[in-house]
Amino acid sequence: LCAMSLMVEVGESQPGRMTADDIIAGTRQVVKGLEALRSENRGISQRLQEALIQGHGQEEPPGGQALQLLEEKYDLVRKSLEGIELGLGEAKVPAVLSPSNASPGLSQQGALWGVRQRCWLW
């Protein structure tokens, strides 16, 4: 999100343009999908980890690559989970900036400034 900018027109919308509410609704759908994907990947990760634990306790035949393949799959799923977690974190930013979620005394511009500050720290 830090590398991207999001322009939202608040007020009367023009045909073909998304309103802030449209973006927030779409973002909520994306979050639900990412949460489901995270849950599925956590299950896969757990099963792979259990298989790796069992595999390390057994002797592998010479030239066998099954354990190595399991480790590669496990690493790929872990990287996928990291990306999903990052996506979930970024998807929450538009909701925070939504005018309907604004805290008393905290302007939308102030919230945007805080996001920009965090982006520079990453």
Tell me the per-residue pLDDT of 102-115, one tens digit each, with 9 for 90 and over.
555 555 555 565 55
In a domain, 13, yes or no: no
pLDDT tens profile 10-62: 445 456 788 888 888 889 999 999 999 999 999 999 999 999 888 877 776 65
User: For the chain, what is the mean pLDDT?
Assistant: 76
In a domain, 98, yes or no: no
Contacts of 48 (CB under 8 A, 6+ apart): 70, 73, 74, 77
In a domain, 50, yes or no: yes
Closest CA to 8 of 109, 118, 122, 103: 109
pLDDT tens profile 76-100: 999 999 999 999 998 877 666 665 5
In a domain, 114, yes or no: no
In a domain, 74, yes or no: yes
Give pTM, 2 decimals.
0.61
In a domain, 79, yes or no: yes
Q: Give the structural domain span for 31.
A: 22-57+65-91
Distance between CA 82 and CA 84 in Å, rounded?
A: 5
How many structural domains is the chain composed of? 1
